[in-house]
């Protein structure tokens, strides 16, 4: 009862925040106001002064275009913190931005953060410390597949098998859930960033052109596919010719890009098969009936749904607005932390009110 009263007081006196701290993009939602931030997880640093020059969209525009003393970096690699101080600055920026957008309240915010399912205790502690140091009153951690499942309203508390594949920028989380817990799961580093690298490597080897990461990502979004398309697509790309050292433009087709990412897509399919092979028969029956749900930006890859259905012989569904599933799930948890506490990891970490 006391916790419920404290929950109501917190809602009244603080702007509680849900954060999807992603490798490629970070999303922030405020309870009662919806998603207010969706920006790249990029920070630009001035190496001479050590000061942060830009964060988010402004910093992403600087990638590959900065002078030597300014570096645009991603502080999260494969979904976990690689640079603690820069991540703290980024989280501080998100919290400060929410406080500026809405009337400042008496209490510091409670924060729920989505993290990959295979995160270690040390990495989890780093996420918590970064949020606490950035101004959070208390921090709760939830695994991204569970948050995504809540965000797309899967019946995770019921004795029904639900399977979700959350394909992000740095990691892909595959999870089978039932009765409020993860029954089987797998986390792999085959995700958006890996596909970008596959494209860069292929273009370098086949066309002798060096591409930047942003160009590779734009090409992936435009014409990459996991299954042969009904109508062929092509795109013009520009990069540096490795033979002459001069700029050159070439036309790349969807079949070229499909060949580039083929190995990674096969690895993804094999990982889903492994999780299915380890899943209890009763839950397999539920999954065959209800299908597998895709979330995350990678689920928007052309032909992925068709490829998975063809290989797995199970219905595949792309969730509505898959990019925001995790942060929406974090917001649902914030609405009633007491009810969802069993879904959190390390949730008992409340700090004295300040």
Asked whether residue 105 falls in the same domain as residue 25, the answer is: yes
Same domain, residue pair 31 and 91: yes
Total domains in the fold of the chain = 3
Exposed (0-12), middle (13-18) or buried (19+): which is 248, by Cβ within 10 Å? middle
Q: What angle do CA 246, 247, 250 make, to 5 degrees?
A: 125
If asked whether residues 23 and 81 sit together in one domain, one would say yes
Let me know: does 42 contact 63? Beta carbons within 8 Å: yes
36 and 165 share a domain?
Answer: no
Q: How confident is the model at residue 104 (pLDDT cuts 50, 70, 90)?
A: low
- Determine how β-strand 292-295 pairs with β-strand 316-318: parallel
CATH of the domain at 27: 3.30.420.40
The per-residue pLDDT for range 126-145, each reduced to its tens digit, is 888 888 988 888 999 998 99
The number of CA neighbours under 13 Å toward the Cβ of 148 is 36
Of all residues in the chain, what percent carry a pLDDT higher than 90? 57
Could you read off the pLDDT of 244-281 as tens digits, one per residue?
999 999 999 999 999 999 999 999 999 999 999 999 99
Whether 310 is in a domain gets the answer yes
Is residue 60 situated within a structural domain?
A: no
Domain of residue 25 covers 2-41+76-147+324-345
Per-residue model confidence as pLDDT tens digits over 169-190: 989 999 999 998 899 999 999 9
Distant-in-sequence, close-in-space partners of 117: CB < 8 Å, separation ≥ 6: 143, 144, 145, 173, 175, 182, 185, 187
Query: Measuring CA to CA, how many Å separate 261 from each of 147, 208, 233?
Result: 28, 18, 16
DSSP 8-state symbol, 104: -
- Residue at a domain's end among 210, 242, 260: 260
Q: Does 84 share its domain with 124?
A: yes
pTM of the full predicted structure? 0.87
Residues 112 and 10 in one domain: yes
241/297 same-domain check: no
210 and 297 both lie in a single domain: no
Instruction: Based on the fold, state whether residues 211 and 115 are members of the same structural domain.
Output: no
Is residue 68 in a domain? no
In a domain, 341, yes or no: yes
User: Quick check: is 51 in a domain?
Assistant: no
Q: Find, among 87, 115, 122, the residue nearest to 171 by Cα.
A: 115
Q: How far apart are CA 268 and CA 191, in angstroms?
A: 9
Tens digit of each residue's pLDDT (9 = 90 or more) over 59-73 = 888 877 778 888 888
Among the three residues 207, 237, 260, which one is the final residue of a domain in this structure? 260
| Residue 220 backbone phi and psi in degrees, to 5 | -60, -45
Q: Tell me, what's the pLDDT at 76?
A: 84
Is 46 among the domain residues?
A: no
Determine the Cα–Cα distance for residues 340 and 268; give it in Å rounded to an integer. Answer: 30
Percent of residues, the chain, with pLDDT higher than 70 = 93
Q: Which of 217, 234, 260 is the last residue of a domain?
A: 260
Average pLDDT value for residue range 17-28: 90
- Residue 328 inside a domain? The answer is yes
Half-sphere exposure of 74 (CA within 13 A, CB side): 22
Both 171 and 316 in a single domain?
A: yes
Note whether 176 and 272 are same-domain residues.
yes
Q: For residue 207, give the CATH number of its domain.
A: 3.90.640.10
Residue at 64 is within a domain: no
Co-location of 82 and 137 in the same domain: yes
Phi, psi of 122 (to 5 degrees): -65, -45
């Amino acid at each position: 009862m006391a916790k419920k009263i404290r929950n109501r007081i917190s809602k009244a006196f603080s702007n509680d925040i849900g954060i999807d701290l992603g490798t490629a993009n970070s999303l922030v939602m405020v309870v009662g106001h919806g998603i207010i931030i969706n920006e790249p997880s990029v920070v630009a640093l001035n190496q001479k002064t050590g000061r942060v020059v830009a964060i988010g969209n402004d910093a992403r525009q600087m990638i590959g275009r900065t002078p030597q003393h300014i570096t645009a970096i991603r502080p999260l690699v494969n979904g976990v913190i690689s640079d603690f101080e820069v991540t703290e600055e980024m989280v501080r920026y998100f919290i400060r931005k929410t406080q500026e957008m809405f009337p400042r309240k008496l209490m510091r915010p409670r924060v729920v953060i989505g993290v990959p399912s295979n995160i270690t205790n040390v990495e989890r502690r780093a996420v918590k410390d970064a949020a606490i140091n950035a101004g959070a009153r208390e921090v709760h951690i939830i695994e991204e597949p569970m948050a995504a499942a809540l965000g797309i309203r899967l019946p995770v508390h019921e004795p029904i098998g639900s399977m979700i594949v959350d394909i992000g920028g740095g990691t892909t989380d595959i999870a089978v859930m039932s009765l409020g817990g993860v029954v089987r799961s797998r986390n792999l580093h085959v995700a958006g960033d890996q596909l970008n690298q596959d494209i860069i490597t292929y273009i370098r080897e086949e066309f002798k052109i060096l591409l930047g990461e942003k160009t590779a990502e734009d090409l992936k979004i435009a014409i990459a596919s996991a299954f042969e398309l009904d109508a062929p697509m092509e795109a013009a790309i520009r990069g540096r010719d490795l033979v002459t050292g001069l700029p050159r433009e070439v036309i790349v087709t969807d079949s070229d890009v499909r060949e580039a990412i083929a190995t990674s897509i096969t690895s993804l399919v094999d990982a889903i098969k492994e999780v299915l092979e380890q899943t209890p028969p009763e839950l397999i029956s539920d999954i065959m009936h209800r299908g597998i749900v895709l979330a995350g930006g990678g689920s928007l890859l052309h032909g992925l749904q068709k490829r998975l259905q063809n290989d797995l012989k199970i219905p595949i569904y792309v969730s509505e607005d898959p990019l925001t599933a995790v942060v929406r799930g974090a917001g649902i948890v914030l609405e009633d932390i007491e009810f969802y506490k069993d879904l959190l990891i390390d949730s008992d970490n409340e700090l004295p009110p300040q």
